[in-house]
Each structure stands twice: as structure tokens, then as C-alpha cells.
Structure 1
Amino acid sequence: SSRMVVRCVAAALSDVPPTVAETKMNFLKSYKRPIPSIYNSVLQELLVQQHLMRYKRTYQYDPVFALGFVTVYEKLMEGYPSSNDQDAIFRAYIQALNEDPEQYRRDAQKLEEWARTQDANSLVAFSSRDGEIENMLKSISQRAQGKGNFSYSRFFAVGLFRLLELANATEPSILEKLCAALNINKRSVDRDLDVYRNLLSKLVQAKELLKEYVDREKKKREERVEPQTSNEAVTKCIADVHVASR
């Protein structure tokens, strides 16, 4: 009986989700290099938000969510100094949440490729067709209706919008129809897309300020180097004159 108790306790402990602090620590252990604060502050905020989504009881990974996250991440990291670091940060971030970064990338790519071949009508009519992506969307629709685990999130909203963008179908009426087909509350999607747009706008402004600062510092350094270079030239010239006059 004591063994059974131990097994029960072990099983219970394995169901206990990690804390936000543990998820953050996992990220820092995986990616040890410093991240510029303009990127890091948003990344940390997203990581906390995603941790809370990830460990909800109703959470189930889905490709639209993945597409949304990949879209947000790529927008956030636009202009990052190194593309290798960008990829390494992505992997560290997703692994910190005990998920598979390759699956995120793979599913996002599949959805993007599919959406590019769609138009407004075919996108909304996914439930009447068969196919890998159509079946994914049908599964989401059923789960969102209450037949299984589904947890709506901001990343899901961004994923939906990305599908519409790629299908050149961004009219509000199409979004409304797609939300209805997926059993998603359009009001929530609208609200979250507004938040997303505001975030992008703030990021653009912050990156512009950062660029101005970097350019200004670079110019200052160049200005400091110029007098030094001219001084060295003058010194050399004087030395040459001395040598010549001997």
C-alpha cells in the first residue's frame, strides 16, 4: 500500500505544472546570451502570457495558435542583429514551455502555404472539404464548440488573421464568417487583433528610436576618431619633415 501511495504522489506531482519562474529559468538556461532590452522585455512578457495559456487545463496545442505565435515572434524579431540568434531564441522559448519548436515552424509553414492557395470563399468553406489543413480546422471547430479541449488565445486570433492576410481576404465580413465556422467569438478576436496592432505599432516606434540612438552613437564615435586620425597624420608629417631636414 505504501508503494501505491508513492505512485499516487508521483503521479500527482507529475501533473503539477511548472511555475512561471521555472519556465523563465528554462528559457535563460537554453539561451544564455544577452538579448537587447527592446526585444527582451516583450519576449519575457509573451513568455509569461504563453506560460499561463500553455498550462491551462483546457489547453491543447493547435496549428492556428502556432501560426499566430510564429507571426508575432517574427514581427517582434524583425531587424534583430543575427538571424542565427533569432532562431536559437525561438527554440529556447518554445522548449522552455515544454513544446516542440520544429512543430510550431512546420505547422505554421503548412498553414501559410495552404492559405496562399485559398480565397475568401474557400477559406470560410473549409468544413465542406477534405484535406490535412481542412481537417485541422474542423477539429478546432469541434473542440471550440465544446467537444474536447480548446482554449482561445490572442495568438489564435493572430493566426486567424494571418490566414486571412495570406488569402487576400481581410474584409471584416470574412473574418466574421470564419469565426462563425470555427465557433470562435469574433468580438474576442477583434479585441485581440487591436492589442496586436498596438503592440506592433509600439515595437516599430521603439525600434526606430533604437536605430536613431545607434546611428547617433556611431556618428559620435566616427567624429572622435576623425580628429585622432588627423592628429596622427599631422604628427607623422612633422616627423617626416624632421627626418628630411636632417
Structure 2
Amino acid sequence: MASLTSVAFTSIGQTSCQRKVNVSSTRSLVSNFEGFRFRTSLFCHCVRFRASSSSSRMIIQCMSTATDVPPTVAETKMNFLKLYKRPIPSIYNTVLQELIVQQHLMRYKRTYQYDPVFALGFVTVYDRLMEGYPSDEDREAIFQAYITALKEDPEQYRIDAQKLEEWARGQTASSLVEFPSKEGEVEGILNDIAERASGKGNFSYSRFFAVGLFRLLELANATEPTVLEKLCAVLNVNKRSVDRDLDVYRNLLSKLLQAKELLKEYVDREKKKREERTEPQKANEAIKKCLGEYLYSHQ
């Protein structure tokens, strides 16, 4: 598998212009992003019926409690908007809205359990999608609001992602897949994932998990397909699924880059038009000023 290359997105300014432009590539981006949609299992509640001996009415006994009911997608999106109230440029907002819907579905699956590889994958996706955002401070504030809206800890995401990145930088192709025989904090995390993925606990594979795995390989300079295959094997994860989801991720980054480039061209073009419109006005003002000074000097 070819290595994922870092994508340096161009900085985008003129937010007011961004809201006006309809970039066809953005629609392609959203269409491509459909590949990031996830199926969710229905949260079915057991209901028991029994007939009353004194009447024909049915008595319904709900076996679940209020605490079992997850929030709706609309509630999660509303929480995000409450936590981050500033406008977001449309090209970023489109992707963020898609992401939060899909991650909501993952977050509230019955088999979901947070793990640091998943966190590393999400942080990697988020940071690359948001490269070039007009404000670094706002980019981090959006991240905080996004994770908090899903009722998780954004600080934990960042800390765990950094921990795995630092560990991976010190690994090689061989040592990376030999974690089961080693001791250490990250080795313990990976062993726990492998055990749960084998059916001994809650584990829900996702595309963010796939990106997290590949990020480990990138940092260890071990992106050969054989290394990924071995890593998937020791983690009890299906490599075919990982390959497919990494292809979706690469395609997504490519589409987003194209859309940002088109948007930058539009912004630059509008800026140039405004400058051209102001040139005659500046010339007229300069003529008036000179004429006024001339007339005043001859009074």
C-alpha cells in the first residue's frame, strides 16, 4: 500500500465570500463522503405483553430504563451548535456535519467502547480536514465542542493520540507487530484491543480505527502492505476492511483539497475584482485633491 502523503491545505480567507460561493467540487466531496456513512444497529427495547383476566386491554411493560435511551442525532448536533456558536465556513461545516452524524451512530452502538487507536484515527482525520482553517484557536474550539457534544472527553482524545504517536515514532516494522510479547502502556492498550476484537469484550471496528492503525505505520516508517497485514492479524482486525476504509480516507482528502483550491481561486478572483473597482475611485479622489490644492493656491 502506498504511504499516505501529508496534505497541506491552502489557507482560506474572506469568510463572507465563502458563504456565497457554490463550489461544484463541494458537492463531489459530500457525495464522496457518503463512503464514510456507517450503519447503526437499532436500539430495540424488549416489550412484554400480557392480557388482563378482567378485561381485553393489553398491559405493556417496558424492560428498558430511561438511562438506556441514547440521545438523538438532532440532540447531538444541537449540543455542538450550543457549544460552538460562531459561524463555520461552509466547506468545513459540510464535512463536520457529516462527521458528527456518523460518529454519533458509532458512539451509541451497543458494542462501542472508546480506545486510543480510534482516538488517534479521529484526531488524524480532523486535523487533516481542518488544515488551513482561518484560525488555529477556532479550529481547536471546534474540536472541543465536537467531542463534548458526543459526551466524551476531548482532552483524552488529544492525550491518547499524542501518546500513541510518540510510541510509534520509536518503533520499526518488526517491533510494531511484536507488541503482544512486550510490556508497556501502549503495548497494554493494543493487547486490550486485540482481546476485545477477538470476541472477549466490546469492540466496534470503524474507519477511524483503520486510520489510527495506518497512522501508527506512517510514524514508524512501516507502510508496506505486509506490515499492515501482520498488524491486523495480531489485533484480530480484518485487513480487507482496513484497506477499503483507507482508500475512502485518501479519496476524501483528495476531494477536500480540490474543493479548497477552487474556493481559494474564487476568493482571490473576488479580491482582485474589488481592487480593480477601487482603482478608478482612488484616481478620481487623487485628481480632486490635486485640483483642490491647485485652485486653493491660486486664490
TM-score normalised by the chain length of structure 2: 0.78
Give 1:164's aligned residue.
Answer: 217
Q: 2:126 aligns with which of 66, 73, 94?
A: 73
For structure 2, the 5+ residue unaligned runs are 1-60
**1:124-172 Cα deviation digits (max 9, x unpaired):** 1111100000000000000000010000000000000000000000001
| One of 141, 161, 169 as aligned partner of 1:108 | 161
- 1:126 is aligned, of 179, 197, 202, to 179
Aligned twin of 1:141: 194
TM-score, normalized by length of structure 1?
0.95
Q: CA deviation at 1:241?
A: 1.0
Distance 1:230 1:114 in 2: 62
| Cα distance between partner residues in 2 of 1:34 and 1:115 | 36
Alignment partners' CA distance in 2, 1:226 and 1:86: 36
| 1:1-246 mapped onto 2 (5 Å cutoff) | 12-246=65-299
**Cα separation, 1, equivalents of 2:172 and 2:265:** 41
The amino acid across from 1:231 in the alignment is N
Note the C-alpha offset of 1:231.
1.1
Structure with the largest fraction of helix: 1
Equivalents in 2 of 1:221, 1:43: separation in Å? 31
Partner SS, residue 146 of structure 1: helix
Partner AA of 1:36 in structure 2: P
Cα distance per residue 1:212-233 (max 9 Å; x no partner): 1111111111112222111110
- Helix, strand or coil at the partner of 2:152: coil
Q: Which runs of 5+ in 1 are unaligned?
A: 1-7
Q: Which has the higher contact order (CA 8 A, sep 6+)?
A: 2
> Could you say which residue in structure 2 is the equivalent of 1:5?
none
Structure 1 distance, partners of 2:271, 2:170, is: 45
| Runs (4+) off by over 2 Å | none
**What CA distance in whole angstroms lies between the structure 1 residues aligned with 2:273 and 2:138?**
28
Deviation of 1:244 after TM superposition, in Å, equals 1.4
Identity of aligned pairs, percent? 78
Instruction: Return the alpha-carbon distance in structure 2 between the equivalents of residues 67 and 73 of structure 1.
Output: 10
Q: How many residues align?
A: 239
In the aligned structure 2, how far is the partner of 1:197 from the partner of 1:32?
30
Alpha carbon RMSD of aligned pairs, Å?
1.3
Which amino acid letter does the alignment assign opposite residue 220 of structure 1? Answer: K
Q: Residue type of the partner of 2:79?
A: N
Distance 1:209 1:15 in 2: 46
